[in-house]
Structure 1
Amino acid sequence: MFQEISQSSIPAFFGKRRPAPLRTCRLDTETRQVVLHVVGTFLKANLYRSAPPSSKFFSVKCTSTVQYSISPSPQETSHLAPIPLSGNSVLLISMSRASQYENDSKLSVQYYGQNKDLLGKAVLHLTAVEISLDVDADRDGIVEKNNPNKGSWKWGPNGHGAILLVNCDSERTYGKKPDAEQDYISKVSDLKDMSAMVLRTRGPAKLPEGYKLTMHISQGDAESVRVFRSRSSDVVNNTMSKLYNYFVKDYPLVLSSEVLSQEVPYLGGVAEMRFYVEGLRFPDKDFDGLISINLSLLEPICTGLPETPIFTDKVVFRVAPWIMTPNTLQPVEVFVCSTRDNYQFLKGMRNLVAKSGYKLKICHESVNRGDRWMQDELEFGYIDSPHHRFPVVLDSPRDGDLRDFPYDELLGPDFGYVTRVAHKKDVSSLDSFGNLEVSPPVSVNGKNYPMGRIIIGVAFPTATKGRNMTKVVQDFLWAQKVQEPIALFSDWLLVGHVDEFMTFVPAPDRKHFRLLLASPDAGYKLFRGLKNYGHGEARLFEGLKDEKPRTVDDILDDDHLQAENNYVQSCIDWNRDVLKRELGLDDEDIIDLPILFKLVEDEDTGEYRAVAYYPDMVNMIVLGKNLGIPKPFGPKVNGRCALEAEMCSLMEGLGLSCTFIDDFASYHKLLGEVHCGSNVLREPFNFKWWNLEM
């Protein structure tokens, strides 16, 4: 049954937060048109183009389920009177709710001649459906219906956009590999590492003949994402879904690098179809982390010709970045290696970790094969989303004898793995992760870094040659965005790691941390004070096997050593200025530690570079308020090491407890210290990375 509808009775559709999609619809006075309409969109029909020759007027009738408006708005005296037809007369058609049956709504346009005689009639048979491809665009862990911001991504606490985890853990414990490397779901537990996406539809039991739904991604995005479908959610509130979830065959692959487009079922009635979106790779130089997934409704033209998309819904995800954890975050587990010669070191570490109340994981020699440098092989971080998070280890390209440990021992359920492969010729000592640190949260010139800033060491900016962290690792770190890196000058060191001259410790005041810097000047100041108080004969290295003791006087009288330390101090001061500028620090935020260096010849280049003269106390492990510090074997005054006493005095003012660990023979002599030989898995930030203002 048709009824006349006046212009004033048309609901206002253009007040929505996002523009309603508009598509052109043909009118035909010779053949009835069957049209599938998507609720929330508009059909636009050019009235003049479809009018019979000599048409001067038109009128519109429709069923009550259809709304329309006419442009330009007619100056009618009665809503029953024919409307003058002009060359730009346009009809906008919409339906506000889904149809119960196919073709249950109609709209007709009658065309009249000069004398109001009927010349022709165009009829549209309309079926309305609701289609919404939905994601967790407001980041609350719930896939809401048709969020107006689901098709874009915005940073910040008032931002929007869905988040995707890289599925880089392994549900398998035997023959394991990262889950992202297999194009099927081996265990239903793997679904929690993916982001939910829901296709919601409402309409008749089936679509008109030839219409279909298809999901598709671009070739560029296909390398970064996979989509699986859950058959068990094909019926809303299906009581059997829990049972079906035990069968992985109920999660067929929909989209991948091999399948860019695939038809998905239209279920009829009120229905939801659940999909699981899997991230395959982290942001990097060639990937900004944004991924779009599209759902299109296709309209048939005729047999043998391709269908035409008449409606597309789009959702956007951002892949979660890999995030490092600074010393100020709570420890979870400490990792060290056991070797045939590091008994004293292990004894000290066991006592420290037990006192601190954390777990200790010892990598035995059958796994480490004599490689003791746990810090250099890997860096702990994590990934986070509103629905799930887990730790992820970044494996260094150094590939020493510990190279299998991150993959074989750490990769597992809810423990991810990522690495960057570099050409062997490009890898140097600066690619070990003692050369990769991160600051606590800072604010710099009004810009907040609530997750701190990554710190790496490189060659001096003006150097024509020198060692650098390999480009693939630097590109990866920069691409994560949330912890904007700072490059320091570390190539002056023989090993070349930033942890040889700096670290961070928690503090109760100011910025809630202090930057600790190695300082030859502080070392000489301490030794001169000892001499002035009559302790010039006090000896360093006393009692150490195969180590010749040296007195305070010996050190102060060594002009060559003084010159070398003047050079080292200038290098550290250059970095000090960079850190103050890039982290927004004042001198009160920095503590200088009394540490001396010496220059030795680099066998590979013949150049002279610095190593610590005695155990490098800045190269420590931070476990809450407990510090594990290399035992310096400094000059003793009244039975106590003067270097240890100074260190305790500086740290205890911050409420920190110092434990000195003997690493002299097993680490210091091999050009490393406590931090180099250990690693700490820490709790993640409370701050959510997607709330960062960019």
Structure 2
Amino acid sequence: MIHPRTLRVDYDKTTKVLCVVGSELNVNLNRSAPPGSKFFSVKCTSSVQYSISPLPQETSHLAPTPLNGNSLLLISMSHASHSENDSKLSVWYYGENKEVLGKALLHLTAVEISLDVDADRDGVVEKNNPNKGSWKWGCNGHGAVLLVNCDSERTYWKKPDNEQDAVSRVSDLKDMSVMVLRTRGPTKLPEGYKLTMHISQGDAESIRVFRSRSNDPVKNSLSERFFYKYFVKDYPLVLSSEVLSQEVPYIGGAAEMDFYVEGLRFPDKDFDGLISINLSLLEPISAGLPETPIFTDKVVFRVAPWIMTPNTLEPVEVFVCSTSDNYQFLKGMKNLVAKSGYKLKICHEYLNRGDRWMQDELEFGYIDSPHQRFPVVLDSPRDGKLQDFPYNELLGPDFGYVTRVAERKDVSSLDSFGNLEVSPAVTVNGKNYPLGRILIGVAFPTATKGRNMTKVVQDFLWAQKVQEPIALFSDWLLVGHIDEFMTFVPAPDRKGFRLLLASPDAAYKLFRGLQRDGHGQAKLFEGVEDEDPISVDKILADDSLQAENNYVQSCIDWNRDVLKRELGLDDEDIIDLPILFKLEGEEEDEYRAAAYYPDMVNMIVLGKNLGIPKPFGPKVNGRCALEAEMCSLMEGLGLSCTFIDDFASYHKLLGEVHCGSNVRREPFDFKWWNLEV
């Protein structure tokens, strides 16, 4: 990239000029010429290149060139100087009769300066990439990636590293993006010149820049450099919200200085994620007057988005709570996780304080860059008694934390993260979503007083850009979470997954088939403590329950149509699960639905193993008909069903297996910056 710069020169004077390799000095020859000048000629040492614009008509190379009002002298230097003022250029001015009227002499010093980042996103900071000053999405795109430094190197008295006053441990640098200042030239800059790094006030809210003292020109000994590279705990802060501009050292000869750029916040409604950092070479004018910039280099970063992980990705850890009454549930979960070969993390009652809803308190995701990747937990604004768990127990080295704080009056049940899911990768009408699409539940579009996920969370999710959200209708549910009527499971064919939907129609079809086959007296809830068994015949004879489930089915069908359209699904990609609901509420406009028996769609997916709420359905030939149907539907996909008793400890409290568990999963193989946006 050519950086043109206008240069003023005076005849009969010697002008000392600092020139940056890759820049071009433009001299208006007419403006600097003595009165009466008609011709000029140029002489220079071999290290200087020049041209004249507009090109003069052909004349003898020994003859002076005619001077006109537009004559420009374009000067450049191809390599750095070894010493100050080691290159020369002179401009001779002549009158009408070719007599000498004056001479302008330039003493030139050339330096190479570049501020460099990993603009091609391969993990290496290359030199002077021509695309380092802009961002472009896609596999052929460019622009450096910056992580929000939201983990904590400390495990005691901890807080996220981006809230620390300084770099407390050298290990924290791996979470930052390296930026390199490369210089070549004399041992020092000419008197009065200096380098400054600067950012805008807006960008200063989103980043900090540190540098390594190991590159300081005053740290000359090998032992000093080794100490500052590997053991120093306090890397100097260069730029922050309090310091928008700061002089940085120029190191003579051929040298590099490392800087470390730290992201402070994620993209959001008021922040598109793009950051610019500038390096300027300042020239002194006169004592007491400000310096002026004669060269500026710019680099651009984009802050990495927070990315959710769908059920189809490989599990790493399973999280559940232990409470005084969930022994049966916990036993089933332990067996399932052990069989599946994953880690189980139990949050004990002294930590959860009786709050068992692990899914609702947090959502696992991750952030990624070419040089570093780590999980990040998103803390829900629901703030139940589990509210301290994500921060106190998960935040740590290489485990980040982020939250969005809402006004308490704005927070509803829809802000629990059973109401936040993400699809597997999909293609919709030719558009690829290789990281899937986020799904949230909101009020029906025509509702005047419905519940919605709070705006600060929705804004955050939309701003991440790489998993474009889809709004579903979930306010018809008593709890209001989309995991009460839908989930995804892996599949060996078609799109690599199936969407599972709760379906009252499928339940009634199953029960009518039982009745037709002479099993109308088979009962639900047999053997369940404090629950009255009810026969298939009685359920089918309940016209009120049928009407309620017709309403529920219409709500689910509305979502079915949205999901088919927004995820590019066909009916063959969807499996209907036999689940009934019941409406609760005192007034008609306040009726909302809850599962009639344990909601089998509210499951945990661990690879090919599914942990499903045990439905306690009618038994036929000694086997639960609902379990048999579920197994039949899932085993065709190569999935194994394990039924977990959560009736007393979760179902009766309006939740199920998925509500009471959470899974941290491996990240996508796809790199978000390769997305075509």
**Both proteins in one fold, TM over 0.5:** yes
Q: Deviations over 1:135-179 (max 9, x none)?
A: 000011000000000000000000000000000000001100000
Three-state SS of the structure 2 residue aligned to 1:548 is coil
Amino acid paired to 2:399: F
Kindly indicate whether residue 583 of structure 2 is the aligned counterpart of residue 599 of structure 1. yes
Partner residue, 1:228 = 210
Give 1:80 shift.
Answer: 1.4
Counterpart-to-counterpart distance in 2, 1:201 and 1:292: 20
**Cα-Cα RMSD:** 1.2
Whether contact under 8 Å (2:150, 2:162) holds in the other structure is yes
Displacement after TM superposition at 1:606 (Å): 7.1
Q: Is residue 231–residue 250 contact of structure 1 (8 Å, CA) maintained in 2?
A: no
The aligned amino acid for 1:223 is E
1:443 equivalent in alignment to 2:456: no
Any unmatched runs of 5+ in structure 2?
none
The 5 A counterparts of 1:19-168 are: 20-168=2-150
Spell out the pairing of 1:165-564 with structure 2 (5 A cutoff): 165-234=147-216, 239-240=222-223, 241-249=225-233, 251-564=235-548
Q: Distance in 2 between matches of 1:418 and 1:618?
A: 29
Aligned-partner Cα distance in 2 for 1:155–1:131: 27
- Residue 165 of structure 2 aligns to a residue whose secondary structure is coil
Code of the aligned partner of 1:612: A
Cα deviations by residue, 1:400-439 (Å, 9 ceiling, x for unpaired): 0000000000000000000000000000000000000000
Tell me the SS of whatever aligns to 2:435. coil
List per-residue Cα deviations over 1:93-145 (Å, max 9, x = no partner).
Answer: 00000000000001110000000000000111100000000000001100000
User: Shift in Å at residue 247 of structure 1?
Assistant: 3.3
Which of 676, 680, 685 is equivalent to 2:668?
Answer: 685
Q: Name the SS for the 1:163 alignment partner.
A: strand
Return the alpha-carbon distance in structure 2 between the equivalents of residues 143 and 68 of structure 1: 32
Return the match for 1:648 from 623, 631, 638: 631
C-alpha distance in structure 1 between counterparts of 2:306 and 2:674, whole Å: 15
Q: Contact 1:499–1:618 at 8 Å: present in 2 too?
A: yes
How much has 1:182 moved relative to structure 2? 1.3
Q: Is the 8 A contact 1:522 1:594 kept in 2?
A: yes
Amino acid aligned to 2:602? N
Alignment check: 8 A CA contact 1:615 1:630 kept: yes
Contact 2:59 2:65 in 1 (8 A): no
Alignment of 1:586-625 (within 5 A): 586-601=570-585, 607-625=590-608
**Alignment deviations for residues 363-412 of structure 1 (CA, whole Å, 9 cap, x no partner):** 00000000000000000000000000000000000000000000000000
CA contact (8 A) 1:232 1:238 kept: no
- Alignment deviations for residues 580-628 of structure 1 (CA, whole Å, 9 cap, x no partner): 000000000000000000000179x971100000000000000000000
What secondary structure does 1:425 align onto?
Answer: helix
CA offsets, 1:478-524, max 9 Å, x none? 00000000000000000000000000000000000000000000000
CA contact (8 A) 1:234 1:274 kept: no
Give the residue type in structure 1 aligned to 2:52. Answer: I
State the 1:239 CA deviation: 5.0
> 1:31: Cα distance to partner?
2.3
User: Residues 185 and 248 of structure 1 are in contact (CA less than 8 Å); yes or no, is this contact kept in structure 2?
Assistant: no
Within 2, Cα distance between the matches of 1:357 and 1:237? 53
Counterpart Cα distance in 1 of 2:421 and 2:168? 36
Q: In structure 2, which of residues 659, 664, 667 is the aligned counterpart of residue 676 of structure 1? A: 659
Q: Once the 2 structures are TM-superposed, how far is the Cα of residue 72 of structure 1 from its aligned partner?
A: 1.0
Q: Give CA deviations for 1:194-233 in whole Å, capped at 9, x if unaligned.
A: 0000000000011111000000000000000000010113
Q: Is the 8 A contact 1:602 1:609 kept in 2?
A: no
Shift of 1:74: 1.0
**Matched residue, 1:658:** 641
Matched letter for residue 253 of structure 1: L
| CA–CA distance in structure 1, aligned partners of residues 12 and 136 of structure 2 | 49
> What is the distance in 1 between the residues matched to 2:510 and 2:463?
43
Q: CA deviation at 1:249?
A: 4.8
User: How far apart are 1:577 and its partner, in Å?
Assistant: 0.2
- Residues 544-590 of structure 1, C-alpha deviations (whole Å, 9 max, x = no match): 11101100000000000000000000000000000000000000000
Shift of 1:462: 1.2
CA distance in 1, matches of 2:387, 2:513: 46
**Count of aligned pairs:** 675
Specify the SS of the correspondent of 1:49.
Answer: helix
Shift of the alpha carbon at 1:234?
3.8
SS at match of 1:309: strand
Same amino acid, percent of matched pairs: 85
Give, in whole Å, the separation in 1 of the partners of 2:222 and 2:499: 58
1:667 is aligned to 650
Q: What is the DSSP-based 3-state SS (H/G/I as helix, E as strand, rest coil) of the residue aligned with 2:243?
A: coil
What residue identity is the alignment partner of 1:627?
Answer: L
Q: Which amino acid aligns with 1:295?
A: L
Q: Contact 2:213–2:229 at 8 Å: present in 1 too?
A: no
Give CA-to-partner distance per residue, 1:257-292, whole Å, 9 cap, x none.
000000001111011000000000000000000000
Once the two structures are superposed, residues 627-674 of structure 1 have per-residue CA deviations (whole angstroms, 9 ceiling, x without a partner) of 000000000000000000000000000000000000000000000000
CA distance in 1, matches of 2:227, 2:532: 73
User: How far apart are residue 242 of structure 1 and its match?
Assistant: 4.0
TM-score by length of 2: 0.99
Q: Specify the code of the residue in structure 1 equivalent to 2:659.
A: C
C-alpha distance in 2, partners of 1:267/1:79? 41
Judge conservation of contact 1:23–1:43 (CA < 8 Å) in 2: yes
> Is the partner of 1:248 in helix, strand or coil?
coil
- C-alpha distance in 2 between matches for 1:665 and 1:234: 66
Following the alignment from structure 1 to structure 2, what is the Cα–Cα distance between the partners of residues 355 and 209? 72
In structure 2, give the amino acid aligned to 1:139.
R
Query: Secondary structure of 1:245's partner?
Result: helix
TM-score normalised per structure 1: 0.96
State the match for 1:15 in structure 2.
none
| Structure 1 Cα separation of the partners of residues 45 and 62 of structure 2 | 15
SS at match of 1:141: coil
Aligned mates of 1:441, 1:238 — CA distance in 2: 54
Task: State the shift of 1:183 in Å.
Answer: 2.5
How much has 1:248 moved relative to structure 2?
Answer: 3.0
Report deviation, 1:30: 3.5
Matching residue's letter, 1:692: L
- Contact 1:173–1:412 at 8 Å: present in 2 too? yes
In structure 2, C-alpha distance between the alignment counterparts of 1:246 and 1:83, rounded to whole Å: 60
How far residue 243 of structure 1 moved from its aligned partner, in angstroms, is 3.2
Q: For 1:174, what is the secondary structure of its paired residue?
A: coil
Partners of 2:316 and 2:537 lie apart in 1 by: 44
